[in-house]
Structure 1
Amino acid sequence: MSSNRDEPLAFTSTSPITVSDHLGSFHADPSTVSSSSHLGSASNSFQNDTFLGESSIGNGSGIGDAEYGFSRPEFRSGHLAGSVDLYDRHVFLCYKNPSVWTPRIEAAEFDRLPRLLSAAVGARKARMKRETRLTICEGHDGTETSNGDVLIFPDMIRYRRLTHFDVDTFVEEVLVKDGEWLPGTPETLKGWYVFVCSHGSRDRRCGVCGPPLLNRFKEEIEILGLHGKVSVSPCSHIGGHKYAGNVIIFGSNINGEVTGHWYGYVTPDDVPTLLEQHIGKGEIVDWLWRGQMGLTEEEQLRSQELRLQLNGEANIERSSNEVIQRQLKDENTSSCRSQVEGLGCCQENGESCCQNPVLPGKPDNLDTNERAVKATTEKKKSSKKLLSRMNSGKGTFTRKVRARPTWLENWEREDTYATLAVAFAAVSVFVAYSCYKQLR
């Protein structure tokens, strides 16, 4: 399973994807597609370069936003985690822009390159070692992402200028045999790659939500100085239009493995969080997280559950430790008092033999403290050891109470003098008596 924590921002070179400035013109409805959208030479790989009619739903405002955008009634009403189907490799074909993509760009009769590439991938899926997904992203001739360029994740490579003549050879050598396409030289991709579903002709929600997200990404990348480190591009249908805005982020995790994380219900206000937390700190934004490339639906759910448990326990641990320390302090104080008072003072002849007086006041309620500590230990296993140590008496502090002194310990100095005097008197009497008998 891939790591749940992505690597902090660190790049050595750049492979930027240019963000299109033509983000305001999307289909209002598939039925409104102009016949001019199919113009172009049938012998060319890049037909259908005419812009489709502009629509009010493409700018993410007004009625379009209320019905299909971030204010739509069902927005953020569905469960996100586990909504990504299992796949192991994502192939992006750079081809024109969303304003000219037909609803089924991969099957459009006059868009020969995406149609042939999609057909070749589908025909060879059974022979591929890795489950492969094909998506269209924006391409502009004369830029870093020209029409016909192919980006492959998690391989992090780019092939330049694929044409419809090369499709079969490319798919066979690169995607089936996991080799290299000899006519082209693979380029290593560096940094982070962000794709935003903006396929307005396929679903109106993506047509409304996609452009504002792209604009906000572009603004934040400029503000944070991430040009050449973070690349962003609109892409075609990726599944789950009901979760629009949909975003995929590819980059290396802390172990150097490339991961692809999917996010849903993303709004422009969430863009700074994704850039700062996911890309900047390598932390998953779980409340927007749909899933991850390479994981099954069950694994996605378990992965998120584990992250939430670890994050929750990290917060609980700090507060629990404070509670335990307070309980331990109270327990020690109460134990000290109870042991002194429990032993009591020995009384004899009206005199006390206790060496240490008992402090006034009632002892604390030990049962209450023990219940509080035990409740905390159910959340943290380490607390059980501490509670066991407390119950066994280790770590507690008690005052020593001396036992009753013996007759020898009670012998006073005056008693010694008296005894010596009596002995001296007895000796004197004995000597005097001896002298008296001798004189007779």
Structure 2
Amino acid sequence: MTLTLTHNISALFRVRNHFSLFAPIFSLNRNTHTLLPNTVAFMASADVDAKSGFTRPEMYKENLAGTVEAYDRHVFVCYKNHHSWPARLEASKDDPFLKGVGSAFKARKKELSKTKITVCESREDAGLSDGDVLLFPEMIKYRRLNESNADSFFDDVLLGGKPWTAGVQDGLTGSHIFVCAHGSRDVRCGVCGPVLIEKLNEEIELRGLKEQISVLACSHVGGHKYAGNVIVFSPGPDEKITGHWYGYVTPNDVPALLDQHIAKGMVIQKLWRGQMGPATQVANGGDTDTVKQNNVESNNLSSNVNVGGCCQGVNGVSCCQTANFEQNKGIEETTGAHKKQGSETCLKWPALQQHNIITAAGVLGALAAIAVAYRFYRREGL
């Protein structure tokens, strides 16, 4: 976006000087008479967020409960990263690894009707390499899956329930969060996923939980229109591993995922889509089957969830949480602003609201400056 002023540019600068508060948002290059890159980036990211991000029109339009049917097992195959994944991983013909694993699954699809298979990123810093396989609820990691031994893995482990002799087996501990960031499949997940991953990692580090909670990008899980899509595998109050699916997740919901779900074992009803495993007990004394009915009947998307204090949760996870966790009805900042957003361990909502007000005022001030300048030009016959 370029703003070219061919005559009497000083008038605009006189107006702009009265709005010095908004200079970071409305920046004009005196030499080229164009908006500076930070302003262009702000406007571009706001446009992307409005179309495909957390402020897109379809957010919160549907009840989420029941959009994922119960299933028994989830298998994550580690391979490369979300930037390199093709749109249709399961139909890849050019990649021998994806083709081999996909063919092995298709040949046994009927027998594995209650098993989901998803690709997740391999990350050296997380101890994950191409060909590693993560099994939930078993909490097992197998190494060295490839196109030549995929058939034996499916037959021995997934169908036979036996140890896999062709691979190395390790145990998994802690909680595991998977975020759909499959941008080549759908731009909504490509926009929302990476922002959520960054925010999750920030909040986890603030709480000192890097050794207890892992966060990985994953491929398409179904329901792009519900992005951000997040799956959380963690021990419930009975120590059994369940996998809860959440939709319409925004960066403002991240503290609740950590402080309510993982630390306390409480299902976040307003974002809940479904789960792996049997129905589990939730905070109100019911189970997730009841949560499903309540969500459909009462539309809990507009309800507020109040939590307070610091908690000692399941599996020894301890988190500090805000006394008033406010339901997000649409993020007011842009996607770029979300990436830069920091937060304290206990969120200070008044300060955040003040920041949002100043930001909004800045945008309005910039528009007002342009309008006033335009009147100067018209008056002088330009």
Q: TM-score range by the shorter chain?
A: 0.5 to 0.7
Local SS of the residue matching 1:222: helix
User: What CA distance in whole angstroms lies between the structure 2 residues aligned with 1:95 and 1:248?
Assistant: 18
Local SS of the residue matching 2:141: strand
Are 1:288 and 2:276 counterparts?
A: no
Answer yes or no: is the 8 Å Cα contact 1:154–1:259 preserved in 2. yes
Answer yes or no: is the 8 Å Cα contact 1:125–1:131 preserved in 2. no
> Superposed, which structure 2 residues align to 1:14-413 within 5 Å?
61-128=45-112, 131-140=114-123, 144-294=127-277, 301-305=289-293
Once the two structures are TM-superposed, the CA of residue 306 in structure 1 deviates from its matched residue by 7.2
Local SS of the residue matching 1:125: coil
Once the two structures are TM-superposed, the CA of residue 121 in structure 1 deviates from its matched residue by 1.5
Cα distance change of structure 1 residues 216 and 143 upon mapping to structure 2, 3 Å threshold: closer
User: What CA distance in whole angstroms lies between the structure 1 residues aligned with 2:162 and 2:61?
Assistant: 44
User: What CA distance in whole angstroms lies between the structure 2 residues aligned with 1:170 and 1:154?
Assistant: 17
Local SS of the residue matching 2:243: strand
Cα distance change of structure 1 residues 142 and 79 upon mapping to structure 2, 3 Å threshold: closer
Answer yes or no: is the 8 Å Cα contact 2:71–2:275 preserved in 1. no
Partner letter of residue 119 of structure 1? S
Deviates more, 1:208-217 or 1:116-125: 116-125
Partner letter of residue 277 of structure 1? Q
Aligned length: 252
Local SS of the residue matching 1:102: coil
Local SS of the residue matching 1:146: coil
With structure 2 as the length reference, what TM-score do the two structures score?
0.62
Answer yes or no: is the 8 Å Cα contact 1:81–1:301 preserved in 2. no
Local SS of the residue matching 2:110: helix
**Aligned equivalent of 2:329:** none
Answer yes or no: is the 8 Å Cα contact 2:245–2:275 preserved in 1. yes
Cα distance change of structure 1 residues 98 and 61 upon mapping to structure 2, 3 Å threshold: same
Structure with bigger gyration radius: 1
Answer yes or no: is the 8 Å Cα contact 1:141–1:147 preserved in 2. no
User: What CA distance in whole angstroms lies between the structure 1 residues aligned with 2:204 and 2:185?
Assistant: 28
Partner letter of residue 253 of structure 1? G
Answer yes or no: is the 8 Å Cα contact 1:81–1:300 preserved in 2. no
Once the two structures are TM-superposed, the CA of residue 163 in structure 1 deviates from its matched residue by 1.4
Partner letter of residue 90 of structure 2? E
Q: Which whole-Å deviations, capped at 9, do the CAs of 1:160-211 have from their partners, x for residues lacking one? A: 1211111111111001101111022321110000000000000111011001
User: What CA distance in whole angstroms lies between the structure 2 residues aligned with 1:115 and 1:238?
Assistant: 19
With structure 1 as the length reference, what TM-score do the two structures score?
0.54
Once the two structures are TM-superposed, the CA of residue 143 in structure 1 deviates from its matched residue by 5.1
Segments of structure 2 that go 5 or more residues without pairing to the other structure are 1-39, 280-286, 307-382
Q: Which whole-Å deviations, capped at 9, do the CAs of 1:239-295 have from their partners, x for residues lacking one? A: 011100000000111112110000000001110111011011111111111111135
User: What CA distance in whole angstroms lies between the structure 2 residues aligned with 1:183 and 1:124?
Assistant: 19
Cα distance change of structure 1 residues 224 and 142 upon mapping to structure 2, 3 Å threshold: closer
Give the share of equivalent positions with the same residue, in percent: 49
Q: Which whole-Å deviations, capped at 9, do the CAs of 1:136-167 have from their partners, x for residues lacking one? A: 00013575011110001111100012111111
User: What CA distance in whole angstroms lies between the structure 2 residues aligned with 1:143 and 1:278?
Assistant: 22
User: What CA distance in whole angstroms lies between the structure 2 residues aligned with 1:281 and 1:295?
Assistant: 18
Q: Which whole-Å deviations, capped at 9, do the CAs of 1:337-392 have from their partners, x for residues lacking one? A: xxxxxxxxxxxxxxxxxxxxxxxxxxxxxxxxxxxxxxxxxxxxxxxxxxxxxxxx
